[in-house]
Chain A
């Protein structure tokens, strides 16, 4: 096989794994609460900044600041759901989208005010270093992040399947009235779910910080990618995030390699639009249509 093609596919898979990790949280929140979290990108941004500031002040490696990002974002997500979003759970879903959109505007612009528009980056000892395997270039940072991303996505799946809280969350997603009858505290579960989704997303933000540009405005672009991944994989179906992420990653990588970067963005949206119109339940057909 042509080396350029293989390299493009590898790049795409590495990219896709990361996409999957930060889209899983989005899918979870939609699957359980029907909320399209338009502030999703801001969760990533906050995770990336947590990592950045810990690196600046304590020289803490981004992969070790990930737990801090998780804790911080879990609390943030829990509080947002508990005190703001829970109030609109009974209303039509559109209210929650608009609410999260308002949240996006506030968080992104407050961040711009505090941290300015400046772009930042984290340079570690291994930034820019590549592993050369079989003649291919695989950047260390991306490889580690890819592995972490897979582990995190698996971890989320494990949590949902094998723990009591996870069962409560799945029950709520399936039928919240019956879950309530079974003794599940819905309002608390909603908050925990949002917190969990936010934690995963924040963690992803922290582990991509070694190789992405960090700025308060980075969020929107990631929200859009999360949309695309989750629609491809099936809204509310966590393993689908992996399928969607890898597919999108490879598609984008191929387009960027053989055409140009701008076209790969155009293709992302065209794919998204076509998927919604032709097959809204995703490639595997396991998504929810709220």
Chain B
């Protein structure tokens, strides 16, 4: 029963992904296209958080830093060094991954609250550094709060849809890989009992680092794409803790450490915030706060997680 459900999920996933490919052709309204793009965007981003924190249980409160690094690398590469978009995009992902490697090694030794605070501190530090670096060292590099304006792409919404879709697809593919590999098994073992896992021969340091770097790489790509799309970035925006909040809530609501979790959580919350609009930001946040509290109290495994427990499914 399990592997049949699993195969159905896989086929559905591939069909939906292939189907999404045709969306820009069929959707008339630019608004709807943008909305769908945003949903896919957030599914991917929430998925990145899930890869690291959802599966290992190491709650990362600073993932936005890699998003921001991706944005800035892309912006600086395209403006200061006149690189084209795609090489720049690749560079953004790679540099985010490199930073993740450097930061991950000391930080992943910490546990629980300390890991959460350290990652948060690093993200805020990067934001402040980007804001103050130019002024302190009298150079012109990050442009601080003035922000960087990227070259206008001239591309339409469909282009960005086709940039974001493959990245999200890769994120979800990583999820599928995690659900069906020893690597993923090791990650889940870390969540349940890290010491036990280590004793059983899992190289916890190595696989934690792999998850962290993978997550950072994809976040860097998303950051770069968004920078190019909205053409203007500032530190307060791209390193904004609100993005972390969104990632966490979406994955939490959907189900941490599950395949469909980020998809469900991101879709629901993106559509919710869109329907509430900009006039009701405070109501949205109050509602989010209430959802978080209620979810933790009655459904700590999220929608998909609870479903998995009740229906004894394994690979959703």
Q: Tell me whether A99 and B57 are in contact in the complex, defined as CB-CB below 8 angstroms, given that A105-B288, A262-B132 are known contacts.
A: no
Interface size on B, residues (CB 8 A): 40
Contact digits for B89-131, partner A, Cβ 8 Å, 1 yes 0 no: 0000000000000000011011111101110111011001101
User: Which A residues are in CB contact (< 8 Å) with B282?
Assistant: 109, 112-113
Residue picked from B118, B128, B132, B296, most chain A C-beta under 10 Å: B296
Q: Tell me whether A272 and B113 are in contact in the complex, defined as CB-CB below 8 angstroms, given that A88-B297, A277-B106 are known contacts.
A: no
User: Which A residues are in CB contact (< 8 Å) with B248?
Assistant: 98
A105 to B291, CA, bound (A): 10
Partner of B112, one of A94, A104, A259, A273: A94
A260-290 residues with Cβ-Cβ distance < 8 A to B are 260, 262-263, 265-266, 269-270, 272-273, 276-277, 280, 289-290
User: Which A residues are in CB contact (< 8 Å) with B113?
Assistant: 30, 34, 36, 93, 97, 235, 290
User: Which B residues are in CB contact (< 8 Å) with A30?
Assistant: 113
A159 to B132, CA, bound (A): 43
B290 & A106 in contact (Cβ 8 Å cutoff): yes
B289 & A105 in contact (Cβ 8 Å cutoff): yes
B233-260 residues with Cβ-Cβ distance < 8 A to A are 245, 248, 252
B128 & A224 in contact (Cβ 8 Å cutoff): no
User: Which B residues are in CB contact (< 8 Å) with A110?
Assistant: 286
Is A135 an interface residue when CB atoms closer than 8 A count as contact?
A: no
Residue picked from A93, A99, A270, A277, most chain B C-beta under 10 Å: A277
**What is the CB-to-nearest-CB distance from B64 to chain A, in angstroms, rounded to a whole number?**
14
Partner of A269, one of B116, B128, B245: B128
Contact digits for A92-135, partner B, Cβ 8 Å, 1 yes 0 no: 11110111011111111110110000000000000000000000
Is B23 an interface residue when CB atoms closer than 8 A count as contact?
A: no
Residue picked from A36, A92, A263, A269, most chain B C-beta under 10 Å: A269
A264 to B283, CA, bound (A): 34
B252 & A98 in contact (Cβ 8 Å cutoff): yes
Q: Is chain A's interface secondary structure helix, strand, loop, or mixed overall?
A: helix
Is A227 an interface residue when CB atoms closer than 8 A count as contact?
A: yes
User: Which A residues are in CB contact (< 8 Å) with B124?
Assistant: 224, 269
**What is the CB-to-nearest-CB distance from B133 to chain A, in angstroms, rounded to a whole number?**
9
Partner of B111, one of A101, A277, A290: A290
Contact digits for B287-299, partner A, Cβ 8 Å, 1 yes 0 no: 0111111001100
User: Which A residues are in CB contact (< 8 Å) with B132?
Assistant: 260, 262-263, 266
User: Which B residues are in CB contact (< 8 Å) with A73?
Assistant: none
B110 & A276 in contact (Cβ 8 Å cutoff): yes
The residues of A with any CB-CB pair to B shorter than 8 Å are: 30, 34, 36, 84, 87-88, 91-95, 97-99, 101-110, 112-113, 224, 227-228, 231, 235, 259-260, 262-263, 265-266, 269-270, 272-273, 276-277, 280, 289-290
30 CB-based A-B contacts, threshold 8 Å = A36-B117, A93-B113, A95-B296, A98-B248, A98-B252, A99-B293, A99-B297, A102-B289, A102-B293, A105-B288, A105-B289, A105-B292, A106-B290, A107-B289, A109-B283, A110-B286, A113-B283, A262-B128, A263-B132, A266-B125, A266-B128, A266-B132, A269-B121, A269-B122, A269-B124, A269-B125, A272-B121, A276-B107, A276-B114, A280-B110
